[in-house]
Amino acid sequence: MPDSSERAFIPLSIAVLTVSDTRVLADDRSGDVLAGRVTEAGHRLVERDIVPDEVGAIREKVEGWIADPGVDVVITTGGTGFTGRDVTPEALEPLFEKRMDGFSAVFHRISYDKIGTSTLQSRATAGVAGATYVFVLPGSPGACKDAWDGILVSQLDYRHRPCNFVEIMPRLDEHLRRGAPAKP
């Protein structure tokens, strides 16, 4: 198998959304972590926003980014806990055409090594919607660092081997182009 250094880096266009009733850009530490890591890795931060913990507001913002051909990846932070206002998974999972169950499993494995059983308090999730990757992360800066450093930095890098999310991007919408399978 060829060495990964033979491949050129492909920058992706990434949007970051913070879900919070209390944060603004000036004190959005988790959004800052993600925005910084996105650009440090060589990707383009195409948009960053904050919306309240409301299903409609979250879904509307992310649906807009999914529909935008200039956005390859959406990363959200916040609203993955169990309190009444934590509704990010409920807002976004119905949009997923394909769930990425392995993301949650790996995220929790990484998180467990850092915070032990407290990782159970997160409902981190991910999926593909309209040929756009959507990652739903907890609202803590530490969780954002863990998800980026432990998963996303390599999976969003075309040079990563043996496989990565970038190399399958051209085929993410095959099922949409092909249409629904015919019923017998």
pTM exceeds 0.75: yes
pLDDT digits (tens, 9 = 90+) for 91-144: 999 999 999 999 999 999 999 999 999 999 999 999 999 999 999 999 999 999
For tokens 């959304």, what's the residue?
Answer: 17
Looking at domain 11-169, does it have CATH number 4.10.80.40? no
